[in-house]
Amino acid sequence: MTRRTPTAVDHYDALSAVVRMVRSGRARTRPELGAASLLGRTVISQRVEQAIELGLLEDAETGPSSGGRAPRQLRFNAGRGLVLSAVLGAAALDVAVTDLDARVLEHRHLEWPIARGPEETLTALDAEFTGLLETRRDTPLWAITLGVPGPVEFSTGRPSQPPIMPGWDGFDIRGRLQGRHRAPVWVDNDANLLALGEARASGAGADEMIFVKVGTGIGAGLVSEGRVHRGSKGAAGDIGHARVLEDNSVMCRCGRTGCLEALAGGWALARDAVTAVHEGRSRYLAEIHGAHGEITPADIGRGVTVGDAWCLTAVARAAERVGSLMATLVNFYNPAHLVFGGGVLTVGDAFLRVVDHTVRSRSLPLAATDLVIRGSALGDLGGVAGGAHLAVEALLSADAMAAWTPLGSPSAVDPDRLTAGA
């Protein structure tokens, strides 16, 4: 990001604060902005007028009066721009267009194996993006975000040695998408986006959160003081490959042994299920294996709901493994909310019950008091919502606003100026 001249600092800091507070709902009137920000009345009045001229805020209906003339309510104009937000999974692609409040306006779900590699995948993504914008040419495109199922070097938007994304290591996703669509691009780990989407949907009480995605693989996103904590290289939260078994008997798909997901991830349960069929331990699984030649994590989820004993035990044991590691992380991180998402939620509350018991019985009383352990409220679209929040919040930062507000829209600025130093 280009450095601002010192005299411009106060101006854009105040403009950014005013817009972000109205957008997040922390302040809805000029007096509330004054109380929440400690900015003077004149500054607030001028920055609100500027935000209205930029089309970011609008005067809405009159608010409740506390005696005297009621202050006018301000509203964030979420229709001022669009965000294209996509999340890539191991076998599927979710593509959406959202408004600036991260509300999904249209969404498409494609079966898509990530192993097809970056060229083919990003070409398919380009076509979906173009289709979603077709009927919305009048609204400027503000940003593009992509979530991927692996570690990402956040500053460059490049995947970093992702174990299940062959061909993607170091690929310049940002450069490729920015070249095609002329909008700033952010790339992040999918669990980080799920965590951010969930935190924004849950209110300030969830500003300290661990979000754990348990599906085919296992990953986590951390939110601290309302912001995603990525760590120095973007590797924070990669708990799926934490070593939880000391002997070398269980091989992981990352090439090491004893990883959490090699014992408790969906793919590991599917592997164990095939062994169970060969040992004659589940008629339910034997029938599926006979009919389809394979067993998927979703089959095991259905096994839990129909009461298959092997599936129930396998899921409970996986939940205990996950819960055991989470107890340590709860002690270490002290979140207010521990949220679970991903395919595991399809098994009903069987998984969450065991996790809840394991975490509470093994973590320190102070860390476990008032800890909320729950399933995600957003489900499958939490990642695309999180991506949209990530981009819009970045574009409403003081530095980004200093770069684009003189030109009227982020779409008028060289995208590299908005994402550099991300």
257 in Cβ contact with 248 (< 8 Å): yes
Tokens of 24: 């997040």
Question: Which C-beta is closer to Zn ion: that of 214 or that of 388?
Answer: 214
C-alpha distances in Å from residue 161, one per residue of 167, 197, 234: 10, 25, 12
Site string for Zn ion, 257-276 (x = CB under 5 A): --x-----------------
Q: What is the DSSP letter of 243?
A: B
Tokens of 101: 């409040």
Of 177, 195, 116, 170, nearest in space to 377 by CA: 195
Tokens of 293: 């030649």
The amino acid present at 420, given as its one-letter code, is A
84 binds Zn ion (CB under 5 A): no
Q: Report in angstroms how near the CB of residue 318 gets to Zn ion at its nearest.
A: 15
Question: Which C-beta is closer to Zn ion: that of 252 or that of 338?
Answer: 252
C-alpha distances in Å from residue 129, one per residue of 84, 135, 162, 180, 182: 7, 12, 24, 10, 12
Q: Report in angstroms how near the CB of residue 258 gets to Zn ion at its nearest.
A: 8
| Site stretch for Zn ion (CB under 5 A), options 21-29, 235-243, 378-386, 396-404 | 235-243
| Site stretch for Zn ion (CB under 5 A), options 16-24, 86-94, 255-263, 281-289 | 255-263
Q: Which of residues 165-194 bind Zn ion (CB under 5 A)?
A: none
Question: Which C-beta is closer to Zn ion: that of 45 or that of 328?
Answer: 328
Question: Which C-beta is closer to Zn ion: that of 238 or that of 299?
Answer: 238
136 in Cβ contact with 112 (< 8 Å): no
Give the residues across from 209 on adjacent strands. 223, 337
3-state secondary structure of 224: strand
Q: Report in angstroms how near the CB of residue 275 gets to Zn ion at its nearest.
A: 19
Of 138, 19, 132, nearest in space to 84 by CA: 132
- Using CA atoms, how far apart are residues 208 and 61, in angstroms rounded to an integer? 33
Helix (H) or strand (E) holding 291: helix 283-292
Q: Report in angstroms how near the CB of residue 261 gets to Zn ion at its nearest.
A: 6
- The single residue among 164, 250, 254, 367 that binds Zn ion, judged by CB under 5 A, is 254
| Site stretch for Zn ion (CB under 5 A), options 253-261, 276-284, 329-337, 380-388 | 253-261
252 binds Zn ion (CB under 5 A): yes
Question: What sign for the dihedral angle of Cα 379, 98, 221, 149?
Answer: positive
Q: Report in angstroms how near the CB of residue 188 gets to Zn ion at its nearest.
A: 21
Question: Which C-beta is closer to Zn ion: that of 181 or that of 241?
Answer: 241
- Using CA atoms, how far apart are residues 153 and 161, in angstroms rounded to an integer? 10
350 in Cβ contact with 316 (< 8 Å): yes
Q: Report in angstroms how near the CB of residue 254 gets to Zn ion at its nearest.
A: 3
Q: Report in angstroms how near the CB of residue 229 gets to Zn ion at its nearest.
A: 22
Question: Which C-beta is closer to Zn ion: that of 265 or that of 343?
Answer: 265
Q: Could you tell me if residue 214 is left (phi over 0), alpha (psi between -120 and 50 degrees) or otherwise beta?
A: beta
Q: Report in angstroms how near the CB of residue 242 gets to Zn ion at its nearest.
A: 9
241 binds Zn ion (CB under 5 A): yes
Question: Which C-beta is closer to Zn ion: that of 185 or that of 268?
Answer: 268
| Site stretch for Zn ion (CB under 5 A), options 41-49, 220-228, 254-262, 395-403 | 254-262
Question: Which C-beta is closer to Zn ion: that of 104 or that of 254?
Answer: 254
| Site stretch for Zn ion (CB under 5 A), options 143-151, 184-192, 236-244, 274-282 | 236-244
- Using CA atoms, how far apart are residues 185 and 64, in angstroms rounded to an integer? 40
Q: How many residues bind Zn ion (CB under 5 A)?
A: 4
Tokens of 98: 């959202």
Q: Report in angstroms how near the CB of residue 168 gets to Zn ion at its nearest.
A: 17
Q: Which residues bind Zn ion (CB under 5 A)?
A: 241, 252, 254, 259
